[in-house]
């Protein structure tokens, strides 16, 4: 079986980390495949929402420490260092830059790299069996895949410091309280809840949703005035789309809109 699965169902693309026997620990092959599938989904006009999840009991246990200890895998001498430092195609960068909305379906534990992947998604729906464990300091490393940038923005400086310095494991209920996940649902209803949210987002005008995400992402590093100007420039072409015309007609006629992404 491939270590990463890709499935399209209507407007929803699901990417599944698929090493359940290792709690979906990340291998070098998975990194390349994950980036490629994210790029593919982002470029596919039929895809409106990307769901990232894990096979089996866990979401992702992080980089494969067993492979590392055995002298192979990421961080070992068996994986050659690149000739130059270039992370443009690394999954955290690609995940941050895709315009399609991303939902992390947090089906189980996410640790280390897995936690960074989870909080790198736009939205997180957690099973009540899920956990987040940022135990980098306990392993002698740091959150290398976006965590040092993302965590303070999600929970604030002081709480981010507490979580990162202690390497504490958080139950799903604690993640909800801190705002690290959007919703916690009973495990038996988990797939249904993730699907319902993805379909609700996919039902909206996709070009507008992507523009909203793009402007919010840029707004993290822009002044208010700069962002307002950027938004206006994004708005003008949206006024000329079929979807805008359809949205207005649907509102006036009191019916659900049927968006084409054009």
Query: Domain limits at 139?
Result: 4-202
**Are residues 79 and 21 located together in one domain of the fold?**
yes
Q: Of the residues 183, 202, 221, which one is the last residue of a structural domain? A: 202
Please tell me the predicted confidence (pLDDT) of residue 59.
97
Q: What is the pLDDT of residues 224-260, one digit of tens each?
A: 999 999 999 999 999 999 999 999 999 999 999 999 9
Q: Give the mean model confidence (pLDDT) for residues 140-164.
A: 92
Query: Alpha-carbon distance 74 to 132, whole Å?
Result: 21
The answer to whether residue 67 scores a pLDDT higher than 70 is: no
- Please tell me the distance from the alpha carbon of residue 39 to that of residue 97, in angstroms, as a whole number: 9
Query: Per DSSP, what are the bridge partners of residue 240?
Result: none
For residues 37 and 139, membership in a common domain is answered with yes
Q: For the chain, what is the domain count?
A: 2
> Does the residue 258 lie in any domain?
no
Looking at the structure, tell me whether residues 97 and 198 fall in a common domain.
Answer: yes
Instruction: Tell whether 262 is covered by a domain.
Output: no
Dist. CA 118–CA 122, nearest whole Å: 9
Task: Let me know if residue 259 belongs to a domain.
Answer: no
Residues 198 and 214 reside in one and the same domain: no
Is pLDDT of 51 > 80?
Answer: yes
234 plus 165 within the same structural domain: no
pLDDT tens, position by position, 177-230: 999 999 999 999 999 999 999 999 999 999 999 999 999 999 999 999 999 999
pLDDT band at 7 (very low <50, low <70, confident <90, very high): very high
The answer to whether the CB of 108 falls within 8 A of the CB of 54 is yes
Q: Is 80 exceeded by the pLDDT of residue 72?
A: no
pLDDT at position 89, please? 84
230 and 138 share one domain: no
Local structure of 64: helix, strand or coil: coil
Number of C-alpha atoms within 13 angstroms, CB side, residue 85?
0
Q: How much of the chain is in helix, strand and coil states, percent to nearest 5?
A: 50, 15, 35
Q: Are 21 and 120 in the same domain?
A: yes
Picking from 251, 129, 260, the residue whose alpha carbon sits closest to that of residue 188 is: 129
Same domain, 211 and 191: no
User: Looking at the domain assignment, is residue 68 inside a domain?
Assistant: yes
Answer whether residue 86 is part of any domain: yes
Question: Which CATH number belongs to the domain containing residue 191 in this structure?
Answer: 3.90.226.10
Do 78 and 30 fall within a single domain?
yes
74-128, pLDDT tens digit by residue? 555 555 555 556 778 889 999 999 999 999 999 999 999 999 999 999 999 999 9
The C-alpha atoms of residue 12 and residue 33 are separated, in whole angstroms, by 18
CATH of the domain at 213: 1.10.12
- Report in angstroms the alpha-carbon separations of 15 from 52, 64, 124, 191, 218: 5, 19, 14, 14, 25
Q: Is the residue at 227 inside a domain?
A: yes
| Cα–Cα distance measured from residue 149 to residue 168, given in angstroms and rounded to the nearest whole number | 18
Helix (H, G, I), strand (E, B) or coil at 147: helix
**Pair 230, 191 in one domain:** no
Residue at a domain's end among 160, 175, 202:
202
Q: What is the pLDDT of residue 68?
A: 58
**Same structural domain for residues 98 and 184?**
yes
Beta-bridge partners for 26: 63
Residues 211 and 96 occupy one common structural domain: no
pLDDT at 139: 86
């Amino acid at each position: 079986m491939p270590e990463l699965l890709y499935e399209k169902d209507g407007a929803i693309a699901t990417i599944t980390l698929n090493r359940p026997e290792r709690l979906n620990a990340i291998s070098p092959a998975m990194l390349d495949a994950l980036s490629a599938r994210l790029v593919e989904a982002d470029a596919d006009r039929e895809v409106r929402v990307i769901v990232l999840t894990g096979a089996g009991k866990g979401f992702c246990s992080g980089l494969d420490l067993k492979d590392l200890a055995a002298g192979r895998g990421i961080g070992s001498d068996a994986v050659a260092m690149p000739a130059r430092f270039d992370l443009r195609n690394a999954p955290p960068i690609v995940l941050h830059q895709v315009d399609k909305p991303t939902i992390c379906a947090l089906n189980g534990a996410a640790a280390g790299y897995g936690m960074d992947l989870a909080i790198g998604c736009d939205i997180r729906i957690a099973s009540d069996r899920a956990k987040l464990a940022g135990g980098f300091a306990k392993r002698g490393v740091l959150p290398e895949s976006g965590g040092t940038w993302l965590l303070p923005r999600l929970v604030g400086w002081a709480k981010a410091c507490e979580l990162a310095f202690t390497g504490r494991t958080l139950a799903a209920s604690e993640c909800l309280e801190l705002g690290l996940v959007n919703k916690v649902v009973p495990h038996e209803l988990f797939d249904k809840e993730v699907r319902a949210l993805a379909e609700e987002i996919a039902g909206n005008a996709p070009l507008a949703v992507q523009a909203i995400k793009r402007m919010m992402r840029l707004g993290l590093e822009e002044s208010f005035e700069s962002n307002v100007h950027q938004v206006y420039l994004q708005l003008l072409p949206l006024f000329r789309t079929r979807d805008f015309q359809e949205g207005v007609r649907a509102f006036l006629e009191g019916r659900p809109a049927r968006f084409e992404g054009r």
